[in-house]
Chain A
Amino acid sequence: MTISTQTIRRRWNSVEARETRLAWMLICPTALITLGLVIFPAIFSVWVSFHDIGLHNLNDVFHAPFVGLDNYRKVFEDFAFKFQGMQSWGAAVTSIVYSFASTILTIIVGLIAALLLNRPFRARGLTRAIFLFPYVAPIVSIAFVWRWILDPRPSGVINDILMRLNLIDLPQAYLATRGLALVLVIIFEAWRYFPFAMLMILARLQAVDNTMYEAADVDGANTWQKFINITIPELRYVLGAIFLLRLLWTFNKFDDIFLLTGGGFGTKVLPVLTYEFSFRLFDFGRGSATAMILLIIVLIFMGIYVSTVMKSTEE
C-alpha cells in the first residue's frame, strides 16, 4: 500500500506530470473565456432559436415557451428573407451574391496590387504602407467617408465630378438606388479588404523560384504566358486560402453594410437581418433562427470547399 502511494507520488511529482499540470494551468483562463463566451453561447443560440424569447422574458430565458420550428418558419416566410424574383432578392440570396462577388473582386484587386509591388521601384516601401491604409483604418470612419463622398446632395464629390463631366444631369442618391447600392457595397469591400489578399499573395510571390521565369524567358514566353503558366499555379494554394477566409468573414460581416446603407435598397444581408429581428423587433428567437441559417450556409460552403477544392489540390 505504501509502495503504491509512493509511486503515485513519484508520478505526481515527475517532470512530465508537472509540465502537464503547468500547461493546463497556463491555458485554463483562455480556454475558459473562449468556452464561456464563444462555444457555450453558440450552443445556447441553437436552444434560443427554438424558443419564443423577447424583451418581456429576457430575465427568465430558461422558462421561455418552446415553439419548435416556428421561428425558422417565420424567417423563411419573411419578405426580407425569401427570394421574390429579380426585383427583391431577399437576404439569403443577397448575402450569397454579395459575399462571393466581394471575395472574388477583393482577390483580383489584391493580386493586381501584389504584382505592382512585386517589381522594384523607388518609394516601394512607402507605397506598400499606403496600400495598407484602407485595411487598417477603422471601419466606422471609412464607411462614413465613403457615404460623404457618395452624398446625394450636389455637394457630394462624386455628384459634382460626374455633373461637371456631363455624365449626369441631376445629383444621384447612389447608396439609395436598388442594384447600384449592392454594386457599390461590393466595390467598397474590395477597396477595404484588398490589402489582406495583397499581403498574403506578396509573401508567396517573393518565395517563387526565379529560375522558372528565367527558363520561360529562354523558351521565349511572353509576360502573359509566364503569368498564366507560372505565377497563377504557384499562387494556387494561397489564393484558395484567401478565398475561403474572406468568403467566411464577408458572409459573417455586419458592420460594413449596416454603416453604408443600413441594409436598405437591396443590400439587406443575413447578419443585418439577424440584428433587426433581435434588436429592433426584440424577437430573439427569430434572430437566432436567422443566425443559425447563416451558420448552416457557412458550414455548407466549408463542406463543399474542403471536399472539392482541398481534395483536388491534394492530388
Chain B
Amino acid sequence: MDTQSKNIIEHLTDWITWPRIVFALTLTFFLTSILFPFYWMISSSFKTRVEIAGREPVYIPGALRLDAYKELFDPSHPSYQNFITNILNTLKISIPTALIAVILATFGAYAIARLRFRGKNFMLNGILMVYLFPGVLLIIPLFAMLAQMGDRIGFNVQDNLGVLIFTYLAQTLPVALYMLTNYFRTIPDEIEQAALIDGCSRLEVIWRVTLPLAIPALVSVSIYTFMIAWNEFLYALVFLNDHSMFTMPIKINTIFNDPSPRPHVVMAASTIMTIPVVTLFLALERFLEEGLTAGGVKG
C-alpha cells in the first residue's frame, strides 16, 4: 500500500513539470478571459432589472428570467423595443449583400483566375486597394454623391436599405473576389480543358464544371460576406435615421445610450446578434476543412 501510493506521487511529480504548469496556467488564463465575457453577456440577458441594478453583481442568475427578451419582443411591455423589425432589417440587408457579392465575385474571380487578358493584375490590385482606404474616408464623398444622385433620380439616401446594400457591396466584393480567385486557382485546369475539348462553351464549363467544384468556397464566402453586412456599424449609423429602419447594431447602440440604463436588455439584444454569427462560423470552419480535404482527394 505504502509503496503504491509513493509510486502514484512519484508518477505525479514526474508528470508535473514546469513546462506543463506554465502551459496549463496560460491555457486557463486564455480560456477564462475569452469565455467570461460571453458567459457574462448571456447570463446578464436572463437577469431581472432588480438583479442587474443591485449593489452587487449577480454572478449566477437565480432563474432564467425573460424580462429583457420581453422588452425586446413583447408588444405589451411598457418599453417595447420592437426588436423583430431590427432583426428583419438586418436580414433584408445582409442576405442580398451576400448573394449579390458572391454572384458578381464568382464571375470576376473566374476571369482573373482562368482567362488571360491585358490589365488583369492592374485591375486586381486596384480592387484590392480597398483594404487601404479607411471607411470614414469613403463615407463622406459617398454620402455627398448618393445625395446628389438621389436628388436627380428621386430616391432617399437616408433610411433606404437598397442604398445600404449598394455601399456594403463595395466592402464585401473585394474580399469575396480575393477569396474566390484563390480558390479557383486551386481547381486543376485540366478538368476544364477536358470539358472544353468535349465541346462545351466557356460559360457551360463554368456552370457545369467549375461551380460545382467550388461549392465549399461559395458557401464560405457567402457566409463571410453575410457576416460583414450583419456586423456593419458605421455606414448604418450614418445612413439610417428612422428607428423603424435601424439594423441590429444601431438599435443596440440606441438602447445602450438610453437615459435609463438597462444593461440586461442590451445584453439580450447582443446575445441574439452574436449567437447566429458564432454558430455559422463554427459550422463554416468545419465546412471549409471538409472542402479542402475533398478537393485534395479529387486533385
Contacts and interface: CB of A to CB of B under 8 A. Distances in A.
Interface string A261-289: 00000000001001100110000100110
B108 A38 contact: no
A69 interface: no
B287 interface: no
Given A33-B173, A37-B167, A48-B144, A148 B252 contact: no
Interface in B16-32: 19, 23, 26-27, 30-31
Interface in A1-52: 16, 18-20, 22-27, 29-31, 33-35, 37-42, 44-45, 48
B256 interface: yes
Contact of B130 (A38, A40, A133, A145): A38
Given A140-B253, A259-B253, A33 B169 contact: yes
Contacts of B19: 223
A38 B170 contact: yes
Interface in B124-156: 126-127, 129-145, 147-148, 151
Contact of A295 (B33, B41, B137, B167): B137
A113 interface: yes
A121 B55 CA distance: 42
B1 interface: no
A144 B252 contact: yes
Interface in B184-240: 202-203, 227, 230-231, 233-234, 238
A84 interface: no
Contacts of B138: 37-38, 41-42, 45
Contact of A53 (B139, B144, B167, B233): B144
A138 B228 CA distance: 9
B53 A291 contact: no
A107 B134 CA distance: 22
Contact of A145 (B41, B134, B151): B41
B234 A278 contact: no
A112 B56 CA distance: 35
Given A22-B115, A31-B127, A160-B57, A139 B231 contact: yes
Contacts of A310: none
B274 interface: yes
Contact of B117 (A20, A58, A274): A20
A108 B289 CA distance: 27
Given A31-B123, A37-B142, A155-B57, A19 B44 contact: no
B277 interface: yes
Interface residues of A, number: 86
B40 A140 contact: no
Interface SS of B by simple majority: helix
Interface stretch (A73-81, A124-132, A174-182, A209-217): A124-132
Given A45-B140, A127-B27, A27 B134 contact: no
Interface stretch (B3-11, B62-70, B73-81, B263-271): B263-271
B297 interface: no
A30 B27 CA distance: 44
A149 B124 CA distance: 43
A239 interface: no
A139 to B, nearest CB: 6
Interface in A213-270: 223, 245, 248-249, 251-255, 258-259
A144 B266 contact: yes
Interface string B158-183: 00000000110110011001000000
B209 to A, nearest CB: 15
B224 to A, nearest CB: 11
Interface string B100-129: 000011011011100111101001001101
A184 interface: no
Interface in A151-179: 151, 154-157, 160
B57 A133 contact: no
B173 A30 contact: yes
Contacts of B52: 155
B259 interface: no
Contact of A252 (B40, B135, B271): B135
A191 interface: yes
Nearest to B110: A26
Given A23-B117, A274-B137, A291-B140, A141 B41 contact: yes
B84 interface: no
B233 A144 contact: no
Interface string B247-291: 011001100100000010011001101100110011001000000
Interface string B33-46: 11111101100100
A298 interface: yes
Given A19-B115, A132-B281, A254 B136 contact: yes
Contacts of B231: 138-140
Nearest to B19: A223
Contacts of A37: 138, 142, 166-167, 169-170
A35 B137 CA distance: 15
15 contacts: A38-B170, A119-B23, A127-B31, A130-B35, A133-B35, A136-B277, A136-B278, A137-B38, A137-B278, A147-B256, A155-B53, A157-B57, A253-B134, A288-B137, A295-B133
Interface of A: 16, 18-20, 22-27, 29-31, 33-35, 37-42, 44-45, 48, 53, 58-59, 61, 112-113, 116, 119, 121, 127, 129-134, 136-142, 144-149, 151, 154-157, 160, 191, 223, 245, 248-249, 251-255, 258-259, 271, 274-275, 278-279, 284, 287-288, 291-292, 294-295, 298, 302
